[in-house]
Amino acid sequence: MSLPEYKKDFLKAALEGGCLRFGSFELKSKRISPYFFNAGDFYKGKLHKSIMDAYAQTIATSELADGFDVIFGPAYKGIPLAATVFYALVNMDSAKYGDAAYSFDRKEAKDHGEGGSIVGSPLKDKRVLIIDDVVSAGTAKREAIDKIRAASGTVVGIVVALDRQETLPEGDGKTSAIGQLRKEYQIPIISIVKLDDIIDGMKGVISDGDIKNIEEYRAKYGASD
């Protein structure tokens, strides 16, 4: 099945901008990955627009399109994502998203001025969609969920740029970090692209050898959840 145009455009921008690279990369888990994705590299205007628009399209075409009041970006990478993707959604459909809001947290609570650890929209009694770049071990997302719940908000889902679709290094050999979070919190977690999309979208674009390496990596570490 052909990828949606916004996914194709996103992968093209990521590749041309050097945000998606192929080769040999050691991950934090010590696994040697044949590809590397860094959402922090989308810092130039055209690149940032591509990821902002892709997030917005992903949300707007998902089960979460009508199901949130606030987009929440965990510090630090989530902060610019929350603000700019919220803008992209409002720009896309002001009637639907004009009364929505965005919010983010501080790493440390402020003890003067307005105080607290939450900046932007109050979260009390709000349906909150968390936005971030990726899910690694899931620790940061759990911390964000705890903060949102402490502020009396309800987490309705998580959106990330990439789902690597791979098992946790010390897991059961079947479950991914995203799959574990889904099961633990019973919430939808969506992504702009997943590893299968990269494989499909890059065929005929990168070398057959790179595709083969990614497929072998998927076979070795791929999650089944």
Closest CA to 220 of 8, 33, 23, 24: 33
HEC profile of 188-210: CEEEEEEHHHHHHHHECCECHHH
Q: Rounded distance, CA 99 to CA 70, Å?
A: 9
Residue in 28, 30, 107, 112 annotated catalytic = 112
Annotation marks residue 110 as catalytic = yes
Biggest distance spanned by C-alpha atoms of the chain: 57
Annotation marks residue 48 as catalytic = no
Q: CB neighbours of 107 closer than 8 A, spacing ≥ 6?
A: 75, 76
Residue in 44, 110, 124, 220 annotated catalytic = 110
Which residue carries 């936005």 as its tokens? 131
Taking only Cα atoms into account, the Rg of the chain, rounded to an integer number of angstroms, comes to: 18
**Catalytic residue set:** 110, 112
